[in-house]
Amino acid sequence: MMIPDYSPGDEHVAFTEWSLAQGVIANGVTPARFPGRGLGMIATRKIKKGEAVVQVPTSIIFTVDDVPFDFRSQFSEGTAVQTIMAAFLTHGSNEELEKYQLWFKAWPSRKDFEDSLPLLWPRELGGLIWPDTTTSEGAMDSAFKTNLLPPCISGSWNSIERLPRIKKYETEHQDLEPAQGQRLRKAWADAIAAFPETDWTSFSYHWLILNTRSFYWVGAGQDPPENRNDAMALLPFADYFNHSNVECDVKFDENEYTLRATEDYDKGDEVYMSYGSHPNDFLLAEYGFYLEKNDSDCIYLDEIVLGDIDNHEKHEELWLNQYYGEYRVTRQGVCYRTEVAACLKYMDYKDWTNHILKGSTKGLDENKSEGIIKGWLGAYVSEADITMTAIRAALESNGVIQSHHEKAEVLLSRWAQIKDICECASVAVSL
Ligand SMILES: C[S@@+](CC[C@H](N)C(=O)[O-])C[C@H]1O[C@@H](n2cnc3c(N)ncnc32)[C@H](O)[C@@H]1O
What does pLDDT average to in each consecutive run of 10 residues of the chain (431 residues)?
A: 73 97 97 95 97 97 96 96 98 92 97 98 95 81 81 96 90 96 98 97 98 94 91 97 91 95 96 96 98 97 95 95 97 98 96 96 96 98 97 95 97 98 96 78
Tell me the best of 112, 287, 407, 413 to mutate to test the pocket of ligand 1, counting ligand atoms within 8 Å of each CB and taking the most: 287
Distance 213 CA to ligand 1 centre (A): 9
Model pLDDT, residue 136: 78
Model pLDDT, residue 246: 86
Task: Round the CA-based radius of gyration of the chain to a whole number and report it.
Answer: 24
Q: At what angle do helices 366-397 and 336-344 cross, to 10 degrees?
A: 110
Tell me the best of 209, 243, 269, 290 to mutate to test the pocket of ligand 1, counting ligand atoms within 8 Å of each CB and taking the most: 243
Model pLDDT, residue 3: 53
For ligand 1, residues with CB inside 6 Å are 36-40, 108, 116, 212-213, 239-240, 242-244, 287-289, 291
Distance 272 CA to ligand 1 centre (A): 10
Model pLDDT, residue 2: 54
Shortest-distance Cα residue to atom 15 of ligand 1: 242
Give the list of residues 6+ apart from residue 97 with CB closer than 8 angstroms, or none.
89, 104
ipTM beyond cut 0.95: yes
CA 18 – CA 130 distance, rounded (Å): 36
Model pLDDT, residue 416: 98
Model pLDDT, residue 157: 96
* Count of other CB atoms within 10 angstroms of residue 247: 12
Domain ranges of the chain: 10-61+235-287, 64-234, 299-430
Model pLDDT, residue 366: 95
What are the pLDDT digits (tens) for 99-140?
999 999 999 999 999 999 999 999 999 999 999 998 777 777
Shortest-distance Cα residue to atom 26 of ligand 1: 287
Model pLDDT, residue 4: 58
At the second CATH level, the architecture of 299-430 is: Alpha-Beta Complex (3.90)
Model pLDDT, residue 220: 86
Model pLDDT, residue 144: 72
* 10-61+235-287 belongs to CATH 2.170.270.10: yes
Q: Is 267 exposed, middle or buried (0-12, 13-18, 19+ CB in 10 A)?
A: exposed
Tell me the best of 103, 284, 289, 414 to mutate to test the pocket of ligand 1, counting ligand atoms within 8 Å of each CB and taking the most: 289
What are the pLDDT digits (tens) for 319-358?
999 999 999 999 999 999 999 999 999 999 999 999 999 9
